[in-house]
DNA sequence: TTGAAAGCGGTACCAA
DNA sequence: TTGGTACCGCTTTCAA
């Protein structure tokens, strides 16, 4: 009975919660693991009767195949990653939403990572890259060399709202002509002294918006400021900027790099008795939900679409597409509301 | 030279992007894989000189350990999952943010899954459960039996904003007494006919808010409606409800199950010439960013904290804590703004 | 149609 | 301190 072969002795080293494995199923069904595996994958090289026994065993043992074992054998994770600077704010959530939706439909799980501009960001992203089949990276979350390193490892990368990196696809939204639309619209209100709020160093997007703004102001024959009024991305930053702007003499209009900034600015100005748009006009960027209720004129970006598109590009690469990198640019749209000023004909109604 | 041992012949079956393995490193450094592994883990059973050689080999080969191989051997994923009904709206993003931040700090990756109340939700969640060491589940995304099944498999689960399930921890926010605060405050404005907008069937939260609302109205000696005015969760649903409410004769105040609903309602009412709060008062729930700009009175919930707490509970379980399930209840806070009505003394200023 | 066995890339036990 | 090697759980030849 207790013949000295390994079988009787073999025992799990770590037998915590002893999960059911494919071997248990094989034994229970009286077949080999190869057959169970085939049955699992729906191969048609399994005799119906055999399949039935296997199915019964799976059912009886409540077996679930281990993703880990499967992934290791198949050499694929069936998972994609997405990296953000910060998940807060109404803005990024939309991108993730679009990304997750498409990825899920394509049968891939989604790993998210928010870098919070931590020092360890590069390291964390590299680690993440080791857990996925493809990676979407938003903005200036990691250094170019890290992106390059990941690409070189053979993990497809798609960049979102970020300057291109050799070997990686990218998706971004149009900024320059949008800035021009904003300026042109402001000109119709009769505004002449225009300021720009935001830090071009923070992101490619802001840099492009500032450049587009300057060029458009120039082209309109108006005095363009040499420098933007630098600020971060949050409502608080906007509120702080209100102080500087009032100290420096208010312009006719402040074009802000994003909505949160614009909203914080508007609120702070009004708290100080400065009326928007009567005394100063303000515009934002992104068209977050709050913008509508605050009556903020802004530029709408198709964030959800950006995420969805990134997921699709990644899927193509993972599926073996090795054509030249693509660089998509999504169009944006000016959304006019109260904050940019009343048109003369409306002024008195 | 070409002695017939396996070594010379052995070759990767699938040699796509031939990744560097620990065996390559061992060979390069002239040591065993065991030693490389030790060096990798920072074990102090490695001679400094040996370690140096290993490090050099790692450097030279640009070796990165495979997460998959490691996870399989260690029998842990070093990743947690979080399941949502829908990532849209400003609300869930905060929860994910709090969750991700803590999980990342604890060295765990985060997998997200949005169920969009798809039919396949149960299946997707089960699959996800096979890829993580612990799972946070928000609201009514999956059936109780599925949660139970996951728990039984030995994967710790923490429920968020959902009724308890045997064997799982939970975190939720306080609803009943918050509803009471809302009603009590509304009474000070002199409002008497109160309606509730939202569907208790949709979520535990709404059910509790409705119950708390009814009880409080009763207690105040006011006429409590038998039924809520049912509606979904989005601005559109609120806008649609405006029609029903106007048709049925406007109450003094509409207590809404969340902010988006309230905002949509307010906007639609005002479009029809109904003034808020003069003609009808409106309150929301969540305190999303837009609520501030719309002047919406609402109940603030610590969403980020909820996510963070869920991540910590999960970590404790994964680390072996086997005490009785915990059920945390986070306190909420009434945020009074314009939409609930003007106090008599303010009415004429 | 089926089974045996060699991986996939690590970890860790046991001996040396 | 080190090395040999048996796993972790699954997939996929190759032969039968």
pLDDT in tens, A91-118: 888 999 999 999 999 999 999 999 988 8
Q: Is the CB of B74 under 7 A from strand C?
A: yes
- DSSP letter at A198? S
- Residue from B99, B109, B134, B261 whose CB has the most chain A CBs within 10 Å, to mutate: B109
Give the CA-trace dihedral at B142, B147, B153, B158, to 10 degrees: 110
Kindly tell me if the per-residue pLDDT of B4 is higher than 60: no
Give the integer Cα–Cα distance in Å for A88 and B95.
Answer: 10
Residue A13: band (very low, low, confident or very high) from pLDDT cuts 50, 70, 90: very low
Q: Which of A11-25, A274-288, A312-326, B251-265 has the lowest mean pLDDT?
A: A11-25
Both tokens assigned to A89:
């704010």
Give the integer Cα–Cα distance in Å for A270 and B181.
Answer: 30
Question: Looking at per-residue confidence, does A101 or A18 come out higher?
Answer: A101
- Residue from B73, B90, B134, B151 whose CB has the most chain A CBs within 10 Å, to mutate: B90
Residue A4: band (very low, low, confident or very high) from pLDDT cuts 50, 70, 90: very low
Q: Is the CB of B16 under 7 A from strand C?
A: no
How many angstroms separate the CA of residue B220 from the nearest CA in chain A? 33
Q: Tokens 């969760």, residue?
A: B233
Give the integer Cα–Cα distance in Å for A103 and A133.
Answer: 12
Indicate the average pLDDT of chain B.
Answer: 90
A135 near A155, Cβ under 8 Å? Answer: yes
- pLDDT for res B6: 33
Residue with CA nearest C1' of nucleotide D2 = B35
The two domains B79-173+306-331 and B176-301+334-347 share their CATH topology (first three levels equal): yes
Domain extent listing, chain A: 1-36+49-56, 79-173+306-331, 176-301+334-347
Residues with CB under 7 A from strand D: A 6, 10, 12-13, 19, 21-23, 33-34, 37-38, 40-41, 63-66, 68-70, 72-74; B 13, 30-35, 38, 45-47, 49-50, 69, 72-73, 75
SS3 per-residue string spanning chain B: CCCCCHHHHCCCCCCCCCCCCHHHHHHHHCCCHHHHHHHHHCCCCCCHHHHHHHHHHHHHHCCCCCHHHHHHHHCCCCEEEEEECCCCCHHHHHHHHHHHHHHHHCCCEEEEEECCCCCCHHHHHHHHHCCCCEEEEECCCCCHHHHHHHHHCCCCEEEECCCCCCCCEEEEECCHHHHHHHHHHHHHCCCCCEEEECCCCCCHHHHHHHHHHHHHHHHCCCCCCCCCECCCCCHHHHHHHHHHHHHCCCCCEEEECCHHHHHHHHHHHHHCCCCCCCCCEEECCECCHHHHHHCCEEEECCHHHHHHHHHHHHHHHHCCCCCCCCEEEECCEEECCHHHCCCHHHCCC
- Residues ≥6 apart with Cβ < 8 Å to A294: A263, A266, A339, B290, B293, B294
Provide the 10 A C-beta neighbour count for residue B274: 17
**Contacting A residues, span 60-99, partner chain B, CB-CB under 8 Å:** 64-69, 71-72, 75, 77, 79, 86-90, 92-94, 96-97
- Residues ≥6 apart with Cβ < 8 Å to B238: B197, B231, B256, B260, B261, B262, B263, B264, B265, B266, B267, B268
| Mean pLDDT for the stretch of residues B218-224 | 95
* Nearest residue, CB atoms, B64 vs list A87, A101, A130: A130
- DSSP letter at A281? E
| Mean pLDDT for the stretch of residues B294-310 | 97
**Contacting B residues, span 46-65, partner chain A, CB-CB under 8 Å:** 64-65
Residue B19: band (very low, low, confident or very high) from pLDDT cuts 50, 70, 90: confident
Of A116, A114, A118, residue with least CA distance to A81: A114
pLDDT in tens, A274-332: 999 999 999 999 999 999 999 999 999 999 999 999 999 999 999 999 999 999 999 99
Q: Report the predicted TM-score, pTM, of the whole model to 2 decimal places.
A: 0.90
Question: Looking at per-residue confidence, does B349 or B160 come out higher?
Answer: B160
Residue B8: band (very low, low, confident or very high) from pLDDT cuts 50, 70, 90: very low
Both tokens assigned to B38:
């030790």
**Contacting A residues, span 115-134, partner chain B, CB-CB under 8 Å:** 116, 124, 126-128, 130-131
How many angstroms separate the CA of residue B119 from the nearest CA in chain A? 13
Contact between A96 and B112 using a beta-carbon 8 Å cutoff: yes
pLDDT in tens, B74-86: 999 999 999 998 8
Residue B20: band (very low, low, confident or very high) from pLDDT cuts 50, 70, 90: very high
| Mean pLDDT for the stretch of residues A24-37 | 95
Kindly tell me if the per-residue pLDDT of A14 is higher than 50: no
| Mean pLDDT for the stretch of residues B180-200 | 96
SS3 state at A223: coil
Q: Which CATH number fits domain B176-301+334-347: 2.160.10.10, 3.40.50.2300, 2.120.10.30, 2.60.40.10?
A: 3.40.50.2300
Residue A255: band (very low, low, confident or very high) from pLDDT cuts 50, 70, 90: very high
pLDDT in tens, B57-74: 999 999 999 999 999 999
Question: Looking at per-residue confidence, does B294 or B13 come out higher?
Answer: B294
Residue A343: band (very low, low, confident or very high) from pLDDT cuts 50, 70, 90: low
A110 touches chain B (CB under 8 A): yes
Q: Is the CB of B43 under 7 A from strand C?
A: no
pLDDT in tens, B84-129: 988 677 788 899 999 999 999 999 999 999 998 888 999 999 999 9
Kindly tell me if the per-residue pLDDT of A17 is higher than 80: no
* Nearest residue, CB atoms, A67 vs list B69, B100, B130: B130
List of chain B residues whose C-beta atoms are within 8 Å of the C-beta of residue A293: 263, 267, 290, 293-294
Q: What does DSSP say about strands B79-84 and B109-114: parallel, antiparallel, or unpaired?
A: parallel
Nucleotides of D strand lying within 7 Å of any protein CB atom: 1-13
What percentage of residues in chain B have a pLDDT greater than 90?
Answer: 83
Residue with CA nearest C1' of nucleotide C11 = B73
pLDDT in tens, B34-51: 999 999 999 899 999 999
What percentage of residues in chain A have a pLDDT greater than 90?
Answer: 83
| Mean pLDDT for the stretch of residues B2-26 | 55
- pLDDT for res B10: 36
Q: Which of A1-10, A125-134, B239-248, B312-321 has the lowest mean pLDDT?
A: A1-10
Residue B7: band (very low, low, confident or very high) from pLDDT cuts 50, 70, 90: very low
pLDDT in tens, B322-339: 999 999 999 999 999 999
Burial label for B270, CB within 10 Å (0-12, 13-18, 19+), is middle
Asked: is B79-173+306-331 a CATH 3.40.50.2300 domain? The reply is yes
Nucleotide nearest to B32 (CA to C1'): D3
Contact between B114 and A104 using a beta-carbon 8 Å cutoff: yes
């Amino acid at each position: 009975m207790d013949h000295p072969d390994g079988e009787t002795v073999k025992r799990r080293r770590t037998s915590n919660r002893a999960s059911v494995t494919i071997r248990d199923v094989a034994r229970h069904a009286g077949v080999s693991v190869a057959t169970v595996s085939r049955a699992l994958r729906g191969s048609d090289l399994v005799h119906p009767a055999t399949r039935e026994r296997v199915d019964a065993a799976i059912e009886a043992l409540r077996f679930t195949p281990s993703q880990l074992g499967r992934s290791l054998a198949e050499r694929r994770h069936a998972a994609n990653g997405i990296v953000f600077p910060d998940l807060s704010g109404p803005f990024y959530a939309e991108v993730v939403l679009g990304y997750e939706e498409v990825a899920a439909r394509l049968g891939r799980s989604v790993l998210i990572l928010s870098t919070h501009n931590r020092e360890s960001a590069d390291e964390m992203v590299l680690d993440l890259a080791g857990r996925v089949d493809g990676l979407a990276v938003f903005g200036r979350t990691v250094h170019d060399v890290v992106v390059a390193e990941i690409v070189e490892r053979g993990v497809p990368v798609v960049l979102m709202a970020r300057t291109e990196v050799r070997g990686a696809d990218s998706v971004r939204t149009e900024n320059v002509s949008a800035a021009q639309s904003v300026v042109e619209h402001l000109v119709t209100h009769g505004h002449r002294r225009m300021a720009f709020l935001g830090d071009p160093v923070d992101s490619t997007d802001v840099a492009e918006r500032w450049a587009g703004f300057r060029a458009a102001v120039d082209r309109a024959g108006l005095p363009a400021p040499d420098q933007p009024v630098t600020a971060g991305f949050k409502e608080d930053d906007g509120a702080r900027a209100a102080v500087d702007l009032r100290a420096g003499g208010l312009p006719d209009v402040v074009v802000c790099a994003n909505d949160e900034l614009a909203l914080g600015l508007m609120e702070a100005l009004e708290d100080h008795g400065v009326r928007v748009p009567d005394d100063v006009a303000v515009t934002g960027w992104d068209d977050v939900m709050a913008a509508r209720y605050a009556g903020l004129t802004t530029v709408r970006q198709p964030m959800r679409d950006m995420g969805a598109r990134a997921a699709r590009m990644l899927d193509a690469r993972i599926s073996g597409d090795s054509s030249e990198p693509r660089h998509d640019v999504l169009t944006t749209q000016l959304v006019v509301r109260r904050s940019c000023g009343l048109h003369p004909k409306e002024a008195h109604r």
